[in-house]
Amino acid sequence: MSRSFKLGVLAAAVMAAAPAAQAFEAGDFIGRVGAVMVDPDASSSDLRTDLAALPSVPGAQVDVDSDTQLGLRFSYMLTDQIAVGVLGATPFKHDIEGDGAALGGAGKLGETKHLPPTITLQYFPMPNNSKFQPYVGAGFNYTMFFEEKTTQTLTDTVDAVAQANLDTPAGTVDRTDLSLDDSFGLAAEVGMDYMITENIGLNAAIWWVDIDTDAEIGVYAADGSKITTGKLDVDIDPWVYMVGVSYKF
């Protein structure tokens, strides 16, 4: 038996006896970065006002479009199979568009930015030496809205509604503004990591997030006086998709 063959057999025996590399184990910190898209499955109530002559506008509803940003995620392994996960991202920007019989086709009525920090408890069912690590998670989301704006389209549309329903002169509505309440709700996720090396892997994940907000539209005359406040209950309830890379520390 040649010396090189003996060395090869010895090396193989050592490798076979060595423990398998751990994909994830208790105490690991996994960071993930990639593209994340928030795709709202939005619906809203009809617009309501505080005017006795026009308490609501049937069919005046809104929709919310999607946006993609840089996603940042982190998991800390409490055990070999249980982790705490955190989802963050650069601020999302969404256009708010007309919907329903009265506003469908009106176009962009406003816009908003938001941040959606989400915390989940994650379960990894595979053995921790598996390169493929699927997981499921459930937890909570807190969505912060800011930089809400309305468009001239909304102002003109509200002015037209006032003319048609209140017999006001054209141009009675001079401007509008918008505010959205922050939201707190449930979140659920399904995802997977595939480790290419001991530390670097590929990641993909999907969330459903319960995001509901109360929208208030201030309606003002040219002299600055408030004519009315319009209100809508908006269910955003987005699906959130992310693909990226993961790194185990």
Q: How would you write the chain as a 3-class SS string?
A: CCHHHHHHHHHHHHHHHCCCCCCCCCCCEEEEEEEEEEECCCEECCEEEEECCEEEECCCEEEECCEEEEEEEEEEECCCCEEEEEEEECCEEEEEEEEHHHHCCCCEEEEEEEECCEEEEEECCCCCCCCEEEEEEEEEEEEEEEEEEECHHHHHHHHHHHHHHHCCCCCCCCEEEEEECCEEEEEEEEEEEEECCCCEEEEEEEEEECCEEEEEEEEECCCCCEEEEEEEEEECCCEEEEEEEEEEC
Q: Which structural domain range is residue 130 located in?
A: 20-248
Residue 8 lies in a domain: no
Any domain includes 2:
no
Number of domains in the chain: 1
Q: Which two tokens stand for residue 38?
A: 């928030």
Give a yes or no: residue 4 inside a domain: no
The answer as to whether 12 is a domain residue is no
pLDDT for position 23: 79
Which pLDDT does position 21 carry in this prediction? 53
Any domain includes 5: no
What's the pLDDT score for residue 129? 87
In a domain, 10, yes or no: no
216: CATH:
2.40.160.20
Q: What is the pLDDT along the chain (249 residues), one digit of tens a residue?
A: 545 434 343 344 333 333 445 678 999 999 999 999 999 999 999 999 999 999 999 999 999 999 999 999 999 999 999 999 999 999 999 999 999 999 998 999 999 999 999 999 999 999 988 999 999 999 999 999 999 999 999 999 999 999 999 999 999 999 999 999 999 999 999 999 999 999 999 999 999 999 999 999 999 999 999 999 999 999 999 999 999 999 999
Q: Would you state the pLDDT for residue 171?
A: 93
* pLDDT at res. 22: 65
**Half-sphere exposure (CA, 13 Å, Cβ side) for 34?**
22
pTM to 2 decimal places: 0.84
> Per the domain annotation, does 9 fall within a domain?
no
Cβ atoms of 77 and 101 within 8 Å: the answer is no
Q: Does residue 111 lie within any of the structural domains?
A: yes
